[in-house]
Chain A
């Protein structure tokens, strides 16, 4: 019984934003590893999309698909990410756990960052599994020398997808038609990321990337990420709603 009724005044609670960020991300990762709801659905979708692309574009043997690869890859990833984003708040909302999280002395921006990092981790895991398979199916030239540039494109584009997606998933979770609303608002907003990531990825796969053109795409993606993170910082309190 000791301790239950113990100190009731100023219990000396101490934590930091970084600690809370880590705790929420860890909780989401452990939760996901146990249920595998997001990872499994995203992985299955991505693999199936690749199989469908493979058959859809195999009209003639030995067709060079290099100039379609960037588009195929990013369309697959964006729709795959959408599946994960739709689920990312579902367990919080469905079990009423969001109230538990909001009752904690945690800044709302920390919740956004934690959720965004969680979504980013899951997307990167899927990409780590899917990109080698995709390369095997569709990429005829080796792009090992451009691997750092490709990883930079992946990371910056993923940040854009996850920052916009997390913000919009938060807004849509409070609506009845959240499964419908998220794609409707997310897909138009993600078009700039899709264009920049597709152009950069295609150039890398086709071995036509110049430092200047790749640099401008990466700069554009970084700016996009910055703008939407700032937007989330300013609006997340309202996005969480009442």
Chain B
């Protein structure tokens, strides 16, 4: 059974069709990337997978669980890294991780928090307020936040956006380390990162999937297809 199964989902905001019959599946341990121009429906798709939005029609299964039946167990297996850190700036790094660890009911919290702070190289700033962190440090802490409950599925919404080179290296290292044991869905504008990490790529435009490719993807061909749909802002 696929770890993520999206069946003909549509989403309407007011009179606007944001998603139309989107369908894909990601096997356990797979890495799917979604690309496309702004307003293509990528983030909406990701937010539906994260249970932050409900589809107008269609169904979504994550880890064998139907999102519409009961989103609560699905939330336990999902980690979400967004370009927004989802951290409280007036709390310390430790307090933020502790808050999320307690909300998820993580066992052996102190050890888990220490491991993650160590891994994202923020142990020395654990008692500092997030407000005092640089953008890169905040994003590294956001990565630790998303991993605190050991999710099976990681949803990444433009995770490299605004990162400094050091934070990019740490995120690359973390993704490489956990790649085999997790299932990923990433929204990105970077062709090189997408092709480097993914075993399945989708291009969305106007709320539909207009291109899909599994396995090895030829970078030149992919870039050409991508340019057809995105006239500007293509990063390779």
Instruction: Answer whether A96 and B85 are a contact pair too, CB < 8 Å, given A103-B78, A105-B76.
Output: yes
CB distance from B34 to the nearest CB of A (A): 18
- Neighbour of B150 across the interface among A7, A14, A24, CB < 8 A: A7
Q: Which residues of B from 144 to 174 have beta carbons under 8 Å from A?
A: 145, 147, 149-152, 174
Complex Cα spacing A3 to B85, Å: 22
B residues near A136, Cβ cutoff 8 Å: none
Number of interface residues of A (CB under 8 A): 37
In chain A, positions 1-35 with a C-beta closer than 8 Å to chain B are 1-9, 11-15, 19-20, 23-24, 27, 30-31, 34-35
Q: Say if the beta carbon of B22 comes within 8 Å of chain A.
A: no
Select one of B54, B107, B182 contacting A12, CB under 8 A. Answer: B107
Q: Is B229 an interface residue (CB 8 A)?
A: no
A97 interface residue (CB < 8 Å to B): yes
Measured CB to CB, the closest approach of chain A to B169, in angstroms, equals 15
How far, in whole Å, are A7 and B103 apart by their CA atoms in the complex?
A: 19
Given A3-B111, A30-B95, A104-B75 in contact, is the A8-B182 Cβ separation under 8 Å? yes
Per the 8 Å Cβ criterion, residues 78-136 of B in contact with A are 78, 80, 82, 84-91, 95, 99-100, 102-107, 111-112, 115-116, 119, 129
- A4 near B99 with CB under 8 A, answer no
Q: Does B232 contact A (CB under 8 A)?
A: no
With a cutoff of 8 Å between Cβ atoms, the chain B residues found around residue A40 in the complex are none
* Residues of A with C-beta under 8 A to B73: 105
Chain B's nearest CB lies how many Å from the CB of A19? 7
**Of B103, B116, B119, which one neighbours A20 at CB under 8 angstroms?**
B103
Q: How large is the interface on B (under 10, 10 to 19, 20 to 34, 35 or more residues)?
A: 35 or more
Contact of A5 among B82, B107, B178 (CB under 8 A): B178
Q: Least Cβ distance of B51 to chain A in Å? A: 7
Pick the contact of A102: B52, B84, B111 (CB < 8 A): B52
Interface check A100, CB cutoff 8 A: yes
CB proximity of A70 to chain B, nearest CB, Å:
37
Q: Select which of B87, B90, B174 is within 8 A of A100 by beta carbon.
A: B87
B69 within 8 A of A: no
Contact with A13, one of B95, B107, B116, B129 (Cβ below 8 angstroms):
B107
Task: Show 19 residue pairs from A and B whose CB-CB distance is below 8 angstroms, ordered by the A residue.
Answer: A1-B177, A4-B147, A4-B178, A9-B152, A11-B107, A13-B106, A14-B107, A20-B103, A23-B102, A23-B103, A24-B103, A30-B91, A30-B95, A91-B90, A95-B87, A101-B103, A104-B104, A105-B75, A106-B103
Binding site for A on B (CB under 8 A): 50-54, 72-73, 75-76, 78, 80, 82, 84-91, 95, 99-100, 102-107, 111-112, 115-116, 119, 129, 145, 147, 149-152, 174, 177-178, 180-182
The 7 lowest CB-CB distance pairs between A and B, nearest first, are: A15-B105, A100-B86, A96-B84, A3-B115, A104-B103, A8-B181, A105-B75
Interface residues, chain A, CB within 8 Å of chain B? 1-9, 11-15, 19-20, 23-24, 27, 30-31, 34-35, 91, 95-97, 99-107, 242
